[in-house]
A and B are shown apart, each in its own frame.
Chain A
Amino acid sequence: MNNKRFKLKVFALCIPGLAGFIMFFLWPFGKSLWYSFIDDVFHKNFVWFDNYRMVLGNRYFRLALRNTLIFSFVGVGLLLIVSLALSMGLVRLDRRYHFMKSAFFLPMLLPTVSVIFAWRLVFDNDVYFAWMKDGGPLLQTLPIYVLYIWKNSGVNIILLTAALSQLPGEIIEAAELDGVRGLKLFRYVTMPLITPVMFFVGILSFVNSLKIFKESYLFYGTNYPLDAAYNIQYYMNNHFLKFNYHNLACASAIAAIILTIIISLIYKIQNKFTEDVSI
């Protein structure tokens, strides 16, 4: 299967897909990187890191970055707790109730624009308005957290319930015979066994927390939401609309670099996990 002729034939079949990927992602990414190093498209002077310095020094970029980090940190934490709790409950249910699992992953498929009007109705009440006026940033952006958790717990639940129902029964039984129960059973037996899956679910949740812009944009219905909701995606979107391509090119490059670093780290850590624990 791995002779040269065979490989060449597979490569030939890959050309359309590869060409599309290069044409619409890789090659323009290079162009955009070039944009981030020049002053403007007319003079094309190479200005090194001037654009980057400008973006990183910008007050709104920092606000956006801070909000994004807070959202990802708090949001992922909450989402993991919710998904784990729901999954632990769902695996305990009788087999004939397993169809209930699908209710939790329906939101993932629904078009955002179809449900956003209903969500606006839900938050159209005095309690939320009071929070928006006087509450902290977390309460102010509560709808975005709710939408994020609502939309993304489905995938996590599918992955976690699959892992939980495949746990070796003997180990749990042995632990129970030794009198390990409840929280202790969870902390010392279940948790270590599902750590690799939990890890993957965590990454997925993090990536999804960066993709929550559509929900926020449609919910607030504006390019300039309240300060607490202004995240890096708004920053990029608005600079695009203002034709500030250089700022946006820098922000894109920064985002890509940060993600590349994170993903390489994850690969390293995960290789370690899979060596240590095999499920």
Chain B
Amino acid sequence: MKKRLLLLIILTILAAAYVFPVVLTIVNSLRYSGSAFTLRQYGEFFFTNHTAMLYFWNSALYAGAITAVSIIVSFPLGFLFAKVRFRGRDALFFVFVVVMLLPFQATLLPNYIQLRDMKLLNTPLALMLPMMFTPFAVFLYRQFIAAIPNELLEYATLETSSVIKLLRHVVMPQLKAPISALAVLIFCESWNMVEQAIIFASEAPDIMPLSVVLTRLPEDVVFAGATIYMYPVLVVFLLFRETLQKAMEKFRW
């Protein structure tokens, strides 16, 4: 019994340590040049640096659009890799996996060349298009669709010959939780975008997401900015905590 209590105490301390940077950020956002508890930083953030919120909405636009498009576009591809047999399927999927695992710096030049040739550099599309086709979404979809029993799909194909109906009314309802988990992951990933913006939009300061602008704000308001920037993620986390956990338990090749 004593051992259990000790374990509980140790784990509580460690869990607190993991959350500590968040708490430290919020606590620091409530201070302003010496005074202990004040909303002055937020005032400075919203009014003195009144353009800061514009960048927040840039971030929201990018993260929202990237999440929506990748969720829709990757869905049939996941089905293709999970349930349709064709020649070269495993090889093609292997390519997706390799690209997914590469760090951003390795795909940086290819992405840059393509965006330059399409004359999209320094436009919002440059920040969204590559991420909309992230192989990660395809990878996760394939995993979750593979778990749907074949018999169910076979049976449904007897009823309808429309693939769209099959995906919409048979596959999709099975995937409600995984899709919300996937959406959360992609949203957080694109909300966290930094390098893409610095590189693909270096000459268009107006279209930067707040994640980039935050590091350039005056030092006495960064903690308020940081708190505001993580607020949507904290909300999403609190809402989808369990869904996310359950979906990720099944995360495998």
B5 CB to closest chain A CB (Å) equals 11
**A237 at interface (Cβ–Cβ under 8 A)?**
yes
B243 CB to closest chain A CB (Å) equals 11
Q: Across the two chains, which residue of chain B brings its CB closest to A165?
A: B249
**B109 at interface (Cβ–Cβ under 8 A)?**
yes
Q: What B residues does A7 contact at CB under 8 A? A: 84, 86
Q: Is A249 a contact partner of B114 (Cβ separation < 8 A)?
A: no
C-alpha gap A24/B127 in the complex (Å)? 12
Known: A11-B80, A20-B133, A24-B129. A114 touches B226 (CB 8 A): yes
Known: A13-B164, A103-B19, A263-B94. A111 touches B211 (CB 8 A): yes
**A148 at interface (Cβ–Cβ under 8 A)?**
no
Q: Is A256 a contact partner of B106 (Cβ separation < 8 A)?
A: yes
C-alpha gap A260/B99 in the complex (Å)? 9
**A60 at interface (Cβ–Cβ under 8 A)?**
no
B93 CB to closest chain A CB (Å) equals 11
Number of B residues near A (Cβ < 8 Å) is 90
B94-137 residues at the A interface, CB under 8 angstroms: 94-99, 101-114, 129-130, 132-133, 135
**A131 at interface (Cβ–Cβ under 8 A)?**
no
Q: Is B76 a contact partner of A10 (Cβ separation < 8 A)?
A: yes
Q: What A residues does B86 contact at CB under 8 A? A: 7
C-alpha gap A6/B85 in the complex (Å)? 11
Q: Is B192 a contact partner of A214 (Cβ separation < 8 A)?
A: yes
Q: Is A155 a contact partner of B248 (Cβ separation < 8 A)?
A: yes
**B34 at interface (Cβ–Cβ under 8 A)?**
no
Please list the 10 inter-chain residue pairs (A to B) with the smallest Cβ-Cβ separation, ordered nearest first. Answer: A28-B110, A20-B133, A103-B15, A13-B76, A114-B230, A162-B249, A236-B105, A28-B114, A118-B24, A118-B21
Q: Across the two chains, which residue of chain A brings its CB closest to B26?
A: A118
C-alpha gap A103/B215 in the complex (Å)? 26
**A18 at interface (Cβ–Cβ under 8 A)?**
yes
Q: What B residues does A260 contact at CB under 8 A? A: 98
Supply 12 A–B pairs (Cβ within 8 Å), ascending by A. A17-B77, A32-B110, A93-B7, A111-B191, A111-B192, A122-B21, A159-B251, A162-B249, A214-B192, A214-B195, A233-B105, A256-B106
A261 CB to closest chain B CB (Å) equals 10
Q: What B residues does A16 contact at CB under 8 A? A: 73
Number of A residues near B (Cβ < 8 Å) is 87
Q: Is B114 a contact partner of A23 (Cβ separation < 8 A)?
A: yes
C-alpha gap A104/B227 in the complex (Å)? 19
Known: A17-B74, A17-B77, A113-B211. A89 touches B11 (CB 8 A): yes
* Contact mask for chain B residues 70-94; partner A; CB cutoff 8 A; 1 contact, 0 none: 0001101101100111100000001
Known: A28-B114, A113-B226, A118-B21. A213 touches B188 (CB 8 A): no
**B167 at interface (Cβ–Cβ under 8 A)?**
yes
Q: What A residues does B25 contact at CB under 8 A? A: 114-115, 117-118
Known: A7-B84, A240-B112. A213 touches B229 (CB 8 A): no
Q: Is B110 a contact partner of A29 (Cβ separation < 8 A)?
A: yes
**A112 at interface (Cβ–Cβ under 8 A)?**
yes
Q: Is B21 a contact partner of A115 (Cβ separation < 8 A)?
A: yes
* Contact mask for chain A residues 259-279; partner B; CB cutoff 8 A; 1 contact, 0 none: 110011001001000000000
Which of B14, B21, B97 has the most chain A CB atoms inside 10 A of its CB?
Answer: B21
* Contact mask for chain B residues 148-177; partner A; CB cutoff 8 A; 1 contact, 0 none: 001001100100010110010000000000
Known: A109-B236, A118-B21. A102 touches B106 (CB 8 A): no
B83 CB to closest chain A CB (Å) equals 7
**B45 at interface (Cβ–Cβ under 8 A)?**
no
A216 CB to closest chain B CB (Å) equals 12
C-alpha gap A62/B251 in the complex (Å)? 35
Q: Choose from B18, B19, B95, B188 the contact partner of A109 (Cβ within 8 Å).
A: B188
C-alpha gap A87/B17 in the complex (Å)? 16
Known: A10-B79, A236-B108. A109 touches B102 (CB 8 A): no
A279 CB to closest chain B CB (Å) equals 11
Q: Is B114 a contact partner of A105 (Cβ separation < 8 A)?
A: no
* Contact mask for chain A residues 183-210; partner B; CB cutoff 8 A; 1 contact, 0 none: 0000000000000000010000001001
